[in-house]
Structures are given as structure tokens and as C-alpha cells.
């Protein structure tokens, strides 16, 4: 059973229109790829800026808490647990924090006692 398969040369002729379409398609992909990276760079920059601002806010908050705790521990007879509780109250209510800082030391102690009673 020897069958011979017709071996005809494969005719691969390139159609100029198809070639032009492929080249145009590659150019479109290339151009769009660049735009995608440009947009990505802008978005990454925006995210980095937002993270930086959030970190700065967090750092300022930490500094405020530390300052309140330092002030509280300067008051005679203040226990660390009381200082923490008052710091929580003062940080939650900004107007009370301003009153605390404006008051003289003898009034600060009474003010913190009153805050803890509420």
C-alpha cells in the first residue's frame, strides 16, 4: 500500500492589505502601550502623594498624643492609666484638648478629674 501523497508546494503569498493592517495594528498597540504606562505613572504618583500625606497626619497625631501624655504625667498624683484615659478623651474632642492646654497646672488637674468622672 504505497500511496503517494501529492506534494505540492505551499503557496504563501502575502497580501499587501493584510500586511498593512498588521503593521497598523502593531503601531496602535505600541502607541496605546505607551499611554498605558504614562497613565500608570500618574496614578502611582498620586498614590505616593496620598500615602505621604496620610503618614504625615499619623505622625502629627502621634506627636499630639505624646504631648498630652507628657503633660498629664507632669501633674502630681496622676496614674499612667488615668493619663491614657484622659488622652483618649482629649484626642477625641479637640475643643477639650485646647481647654486643657490653656489651663494653668492647678486647673489642669481638676479638669482631668472632671473628665474622668463623666
Domain ranges of the chain: 26-117
pTM: 0.56
Confidence at residue 67, expressed as pLDDT on a 0 to 100 scale:
93
Distance of CA 21 to the CA centre of its chain: 44
E-strand stretches of 1-118 = none
Which three-class secondary structure state does DSSP give residue 25?
A: helix
Per-residue pLDDT of the chain (118 residues; tens, 9 = 90+): 555 556 665 555 556 666 778 878 877 777 777 777 777 777 888 888 889 899 999 999 999 999 999 999 998 888 999 999 999 999 999 999 999 999 998 899 999 999 999 8
Q: How far is CA 115 from the centre of its chain?
A: 34
Amino acid at each position: 500500500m504505497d500511496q503517494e501523497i501529492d506534494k505540492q508546494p505551499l503557496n504563501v503569498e502575502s497580501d499587501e492589505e493584510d500586511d498593512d493592517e498588521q503593521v497598523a495594528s502593531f503601531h496602535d498597540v505600541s502607541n496605546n502601550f505607551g499611554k498605558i504606562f504614562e497613565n500608570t505613572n500618574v496614578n502611582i504618583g498620586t498614590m505616593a502623594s496620598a500615602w505621604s500625606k496620610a503618614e504625615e497626619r499619623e505622625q502629627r497625631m502621634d506627636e499630639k498624643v505624646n504631648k498630652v501624655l507628657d503633660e498629664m504625667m507632669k501633674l502630681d498624683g496622676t496614674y499612667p492609666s488615668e493619663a491614657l484615659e484622659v488622652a483618649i478623651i482629649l484626642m477625641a474632642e479637640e475643643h477639650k484638648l485646647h481647654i486643657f492646654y490653656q489651663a494653668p497646672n492647678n486647673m489642669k488637674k481638676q479638669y482631668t478629674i472632671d473628665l474622668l468622672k463623666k
